[in-house]
Chain A
Amino acid sequence: MSGQTAIRIDRLGKRFGAGPLVLDDVNLSIETGEFVCLLGASGCGKSTLLNLIAGLDAPTTGSIDVPAEGAAVMFQESALMPWLTARQNVELALRLRGVPRAARRGEALELLDVVNLADASEKRPHELSGGMRQRVALARALAQDRPVLLMDEPFAALDAITRDLLHEELERVWRRTGRTIVFVTHNVREAARLGQRVVLLSSRPGRVAGEWRIAETTGRRIESPEVAALSIEITEQLRKEIRRNAA
Chain B
Amino acid sequence: MPHDATLLDEREAAARAAAAATGPGRSPEASAHDARDRHDDLRSLEAGLDRLQTSPERAQSAWRRFTTSVLPPILFVVALIAAWQLYVVIAQPRPDIVPGPVDVFNAMLAGWESGRLQLAVLTSLERGVVGFLIAVVVGTPLGLLLAEVKPLRRAIGPIISGLQVLPSVAWVPAAILWFGLTDATVYFVVLMGAVPSIVNGLIAGVEQVPPQLRRVGTVLGANRTRLATLVVLPAALPGYVAGLKQGWAFSWRSLMAAEIIAVGGTIGFGLGSMLQQSRELADIGGVLATVLVILFIGILIELVFFAPLERRMLRRRGLLLGGTR
Contact = CB atoms under 8 A, between A and B. Distances in A.
B237 A83 contact: yes
A175 B35 CA distance: 12
A83 B316 contact: yes
Contacts of A165: 42, 45-46, 49
B263 interface: no
B49 A56 contact: no
B3 A147 contact: yes
B7 A176 contact: yes
Contacts of A128: 54
A126 B313 CA distance: 13
B168 to A, nearest CB: 33
B234 interface: yes
Interface stretch (B90-98, B119-127, B220-228, B278-286): B220-228
A145 interface: yes
Contacts of B216: 75, 79
Contacts of B222: 96
Contacts of A81: 213, 231, 234-235
A128 B319 CA distance: 14
A32 B318 contact: no
B47 interface: yes
Nearest to B8: A176
A172 B317 contact: no
Nearest to A97: B221
Contacts of B47: 116, 119
Contacts of B49: 129, 131, 161-162, 165
B2 interface: yes
B226 to A, nearest CB: 7
Contacts of B6: 176-179
Nearest to A119: B47
Interface secondary structure of B, over-half rule:
helix
Contacts of B53: 129-132, 162
B317 A83 contact: yes
B50 A79 contact: no
Interface string B7-33: 110100100110011000000000000
A144 B318 contact: no
Contacts of B8: 175-178
Contact of A132 (B54, B220, B317): B54
A169 interface: yes
A52 to B, nearest CB: 14
Interface in A101-122: 116-117, 119-120
A129 B13 CA distance: 29
A72 B316 CA distance: 27
Interface in B136-151: none
A152 to B, nearest CB: 11
Interface string B201-234: 0000000001011011111111000100011001
A82 interface: yes
Interface in B36-62: 39, 42-43, 45-47, 49-50, 53-54, 57
B1 interface: yes
A131 B316 CA distance: 20
Given A79-B215, A116-B47, A124-B316, A96 B220 contact: yes
A228 interface: no
A175 B50 contact: no
B212 A82 contact: no
A92 B54 contact: no
A172 B3 contact: no
Interface in A166-214: 168-169, 172, 175-179
A219 interface: yes
Contacts of A96: 217, 220-222, 226, 230
Contacts of B39: 172
A196 to B, nearest CB: 13
Contacts of B177: none
Nearest to B16: A175
A119 B48 CA distance: 13
- List the 4 closest pairs (A to B, CB-CB), nearest first: A126-B318, A129-B53, A147-B3, A79-B212
30 contacts: A73-B219, A75-B212, A75-B216, A79-B213, A81-B213, A82-B317, A83-B235, A83-B237, A92-B220, A96-B220, A117-B50, A124-B316, A124-B317, A124-B318, A127-B54, A131-B50, A131-B53, A140-B220, A147-B2, A162-B53, A165-B42, A165-B46, A175-B16, A175-B17, A176-B7, A176-B10, A177-B8, A178-B3, A178-B5, A179-B6
